[in-house]
Amino acid sequence: MISQYGQVEFHFSPQGALLLIYSENELGELVLSEKFE
């Protein structure tokens, strides 16, 4: 599941655990990427 808040995406596992926080700027450049295990 993916939830979005502004330009930040929060990716969750089917069990509801946070897996990834991801964001790009207006040019499509990565500005935030944090992976959780």
How far is residue 13's CA from residue 27's CA, in Å, rounded to a whole number? 28
Contact call for residues 23 and 8 (beta carbons, < 8 A): yes
What pLDDT was estimated at residue 37? 85
Each residue's pLDDT expressed in tens, for the chain with a length of 37 residues: 999 999 999 999 999 999 999 999 999 999 999 999 8
What pLDDT was estimated at residue 26? 93
What pLDDT was estimated at residue 7? 92
The pTM score is 0.81
Q: Per 3-state DSSP, what percentage of the chain is helix, strand, and coil (rounded to 5)? A: 0, 60, 40
What pLDDT was estimated at residue 22? 98
